[in-house]
Structure 1
Amino acid sequence: MNGTLENCEKFNKEEKDPEYEEFRCKSLRVNGEVRDGVCQCKPNWKGPICNEYHGCEEGQSLYGSVCTNNVCQHGGSLAVGKNLVECICPVPWDGRNCERLACWRKTDHGAEKRFRNAGDKCVCSNYYKGENCDEIISCLNGGKLDGSQCKCPDHFGGEICEKKCPKGMVT
């Protein structure tokens, strides 16, 4: 054997291995350092990968190497990666600066199109109504509303006839 298994096994030990801690800090932590044989966040850095800076005054965030007014809206905080600065947004906010509601988070998987963003609130898209935007009011691609469901023409499918069937298939 080439020693690969042996090298892997030494990182599975319960006790802290200084070599592993050094590796962990260099590859898994953005602003980590080995102190007392353990990988820890550098002073004022927090978060699971040490990318959240907590050394600025209230209302400010680190941008580059300077504390500046926080560009993140709605209580978001700046996170700094190796080459990236982005906002960490509290639920339900989203966007580069936490400027819009994450309307897509309000829906089950596959029903993302039911909501659309209208600034500081989520509203139903043009094809739905109701408190949860789950009542269909119109169909796409020539579909006809029959009660609470769309009847789609040939070659279209989906809840509101939004999906084109693959060539050679008919609904």
Structure 2
Amino acid sequence: MQQLLKGQETRFSEGLRVMRSRLSSLHSTLAKAAPEAPTVSCPALQAPTDGRKFGTKYLVEHEVHFTCDPGFQLLGSSTRMCQANGTWSGQEPRCEEISECSSSPCQNGGTCLEGLNQFRCLCPQQWTGATCQHRAQTAPPAWSVTDDPAFSRQPRCAQVAQAQQCSCDPGFHMNGTAANGLCQDLNECEVFQRDGGPRLCVHSCVNLPGSFRCSCPSGYVLLGDGRSCEDIDECSLSQDNCTGGSSCINTGGGFQCVTPRCPPAVGNVSYVKTSPFQCERNPCPMESRSCHHAPKTISFHYLPLPSRLVAPTPLFRMATAAAPGRPGPDSLRFGIAGGNSRGHFVVQRSDRHTGELILVQSLQGPQTVQVDVDMSEYLDRVFQAKHLSKITLFVSAYEF
């Protein structure tokens, strides 16, 4: 009886092995026969005429950004995202030329002439200046100063071959005839500006008898070349008045006292300040999906910028780094999460682990601009964490 039972058990085990082998073969055959789900993509987009396109991937949830060349304004959507149905969000962008004369810049009856990224005013006879804002002077010449004795002097005269020859010192010009002429100061500041010559000073020009000097605005110092201005770093020189708990940020011509604060707690999401310029999220409950999708870190950054900085230019880089012994993300997504002047910026990937915030439209100062950039980490297409960088730009009133 034992031998019979043992034989039946052996045959039963063999049958199970054969059955498992057949099921495995059948499963492999079905897996190979099943068609793979097609990858959804959107049709290719082109840069608008007189504009540029940022972004080359057309898969679902990928974004493409658009901007216009100087002298043109963007109409339509500056950012379009590929949707799950294979179409692009937003409207097709186009670049329209900006009319420099549309704001009627010429005053006092002047006529505006359109040019490439600029305009020119034809002024009536009694008006002058870039926008016909100054009343023209016929006598004495605009570059002469006759009410101050230092700006006029007697010429140096000599008898040469029965004729009197008179000359003026450098920086003066002869006004009148040789018999009763007077050497009057030449206002280099106005002459160079009027004749379209090279700019004598980066900021302002002060006329002196026979010469000139350059001056800088408050918060700047004149450099050794006598014409350029350099910002004074009040923070490093301890010339600020920031109180305890705040940090000094040097800006063009001054400084700002800042006190970054973590956002208040909302539900299960709360933050703790780990450095003067960074907050980290407290541990989340396992079941709180909203907490896990909130930014894991929030960092604060402050950048001084000159006015009318040439665009496009990179301003800020955001990257990730894996902790020792732990695999890092294999995919990153960058985006602009908020701010008060989003149309001036785009975010694009510079390499596999780095994204760049790029200024695509110049900013005219003085003004303060905020823009928030987020970075999401994915591993095997599964969301891991999000990081938020809150960037504040202090745009100076000057172009230096």
Q: How high is the TM-score relative to the length of structure 1?
A: 0.30
- Higher Cα Rg, which structure: 2
Q: How high is the TM-score relative to the length of structure 2?
A: 0.16
**Which structure's residues are more often strand, by fraction?**
2
